[in-house]
Homo-oligomer: A and B are copies of this chain.
Amino acid sequence: MSAPAPVSVQPVSVQKYGGTSVGSTERLQHVAGRIAARAAGGDRIVAVVSAMGKTTDSLVALAGEITATPAGREYDMLLASGEIVSAALLAMAIEEHDVPAIALTGQQAGVFTDDTHTRARITRIETDRILTELGRGQVVIIAGFQGITPGSDFTTLGRGGSDTSAVALAAALHAVRAEIYTDVDGVYTTDPRIEPRARRLHDIAYEEMLELASQGAGVMHPRAVELGLLYDLPILVASSFREDVPGTLIRKQVQMEPSNRVRGIALDRDVALITIRAVPDRPGIASQVFGPLAEAGINVDTIVQNASAERLTDMTFSVAHDQAAAAHALCRDGADDLGASDVILDEHAAKVSIVGTGMQSGVGYAAKMFRALAEAAINIELISTSEIRITAIVHEDDGQAAAQVLHAAFELDEPVLAGEAAPG
């Protein structure tokens, strides 16, 4: 017997294109041209695609015309159709370049999830079909945001779902990284709409990106970043509109680099504060407050309980605006049982955070932050911290100024270190 011919082990490139990037047939054709050019250059490509533009919103609106409480199973079936459409169209558009392409649903791509409809978790990916199609020389287009239960029902992955699909597929296919193509050209020191002097970062650590994302920086959903961290799979965030900008690589922190500094500022304006006044300071009071909120599916963010005076304490927490009324009502219902004197809702807050892995080994960050805000006459209502983040909650009218002040105070306005670039 003769030896088999050597098999190419060209790694797989896993790319993801979001809704804006495929928002029209023209945009789809642009993306198809990019993919076809790379495929013609020899790359083996798996591209994960979101629904076109506002398709998902339209489907949500259709369901909303019928019911306020859709069954999760049917809701997922409905929403999954959006990515099936864009995947099929993108495959057609690539074929127009005489590059063979095939579109796969989440099911056909072997993306299995649990059965938690509307926010399912990926449990495993059976890559057989993908590898078979790649082996046939096909570009493989996969409908993002969706998976399948063991019982063959559609699921969707919730917010940030297509990013999560792409990172999970990249891990399962042993890609060297996941490439997320979107309508921004990378991760910035802060949102350039807030501070025009914001700079694009060449790279950022998973943990820093997680803190930025969970504090309101909308480039990527934290869930996909977590998955990158878990598999140590670098994630490139770059523009699907421009090819001349290299984007930002989210990756493991490289300790060799001088990283002892603030890397980015996040501003989140979707913040409402609820304060329960004069709660008796006894054991179990926190669970009595937050248990009912959790049961009602209310996502509580920052929690602060001030020092107890005469065994009475004020407890303040933040929620997103769309859950503020429900949270307020629940707390008022429980105020008598708590023995609280009052429950106050403040819908005019903003959350500004400084983020950087260097903060865990450095000192003086909090003092510098508070001093900068004080000098700008910005009042801090609440403070919370993690190892690599310090967050101040301020009045919403002060939010943008606070972000700008901190951007300057932590010397993010000027490109001082390697690994960062002026706005592209």
User: Which A residues are closer than 8 A to B by beta carbons?
Assistant: 25, 28-29, 59, 62-63, 65-67, 70-71, 73-75, 77-78, 80-82, 84-85, 87-89, 91-93, 95-96, 102-103, 105, 107-108, 152-153
In the complex, the answer to whether A95 meets B77 with C-beta atoms within 8 Å is: no
Given contacts A78-B88, A84-B84, A91-B74, contact A66 B96 (CB under 8 A): yes
Q: How far is the CB of A246 from chain B (nearest CB, A)?
A: 29
Main SS at interface, chain A: helix
In the complex, the answer to whether B89 meets A66 with C-beta atoms within 8 Å is: yes
Residues of B within 8 A of A73 (CB): 102-103
Q: How far is the CB of A159 from chain B (nearest CB, A)?
A: 20
In the complex, the answer to whether B92 meets A74 with C-beta atoms within 8 Å is: yes
In the complex, the answer to whether B78 meets A85 with C-beta atoms within 8 Å is: yes
Given contacts A84-B80, A108-B152, A108-B153, contact A25 B65 (CB under 8 A): yes
In the complex, the answer to whether A77 meets B87 with C-beta atoms within 8 Å is: yes
Residues of B within 8 A of A92 (CB): 63, 66-67, 70-71, 74-75, 78
CB<8 Å pairs between A and B, sample of 25: A25-B66, A29-B66, A59-B85, A63-B88, A63-B89, A63-B92, A66-B92, A66-B96, A67-B92, A67-B95, A67-B96, A70-B92, A71-B92, A74-B88, A74-B89, A74-B95, A75-B92, A77-B88, A78-B85, A81-B82, A81-B84, A81-B88, A107-B152, A108-B152, A108-B153
Copies in the complex: 2
Residues of B within 8 A of A65 (CB): 25
In the complex, the answer to whether B95 meets A85 with C-beta atoms within 8 Å is: no
Given contacts A28-B66, A107-B152, contact A71 B93 (CB under 8 A): no
Residues of B within 8 A of A63 (CB): 88-89, 92
- The chain B residue with its CB closest to the CB of A70 is B92
Q: How far is the CB of A117 from chain B (nearest CB, A)?
A: 12
In the complex, the answer to whether A88 meets B75 with C-beta atoms within 8 Å is: yes
Given contacts A78-B89, A108-B153, 8 further A-B contacts (CB under 8 A): A25-B62, A63-B88, A66-B96, A67-B93, A73-B103, A74-B88, A74-B92, A75-B88
* CA gap between A108 and B74 in the complex, in Å: 13
Residues of B within 8 A of A152 (CB): 107-108
Indicate which residue in B28, B93, B105 contacts A77 across the interface (CB closer than 8 Å).
B105
* CA gap between A81 and B80 in the complex, in Å: 9
In the complex, the answer to whether B77 meets A103 with C-beta atoms within 8 Å is: yes
* 9 nearest A-B pairs in the assembled complex, by CB-CB distance: A78-B88, A25-B65, A81-B81, A77-B88, A74-B88, A74-B91, A81-B84, A66-B93, A70-B92
Residues of B within 8 A of A74 (CB): 88-89, 91-92, 95, 102-103
Q: How far is the CB of A54 from chain B (nearest CB, A)?
A: 14
Given contacts A25-B65, A71-B95, A96-B66, contact A84 B88 (CB under 8 A): no
Indicate which residue in B70, B81, B87, B102 contacts A85 across the interface (CB closer than 8 Å).
B81
Q: How far is the CB of A290 from chain B (nearest CB, A)?
A: 32
Q: How far is the CB of A108 from chain B (nearest CB, A)?
A: 6
Residues of B within 8 A of A96 (CB): 66-67
* CA gap between A103 and B72 in the complex, in Å: 12
* CA gap between A73 and B91 in the complex, in Å: 10
- The chain B residue with its CB closest to the CB of A79 is B88
Q: How far is the CB of A82 from chain B (nearest CB, A)?
A: 8
- The chain B residue with its CB closest to the CB of A28 is B66
- The chain B residue with its CB closest to the CB of A100 is B71
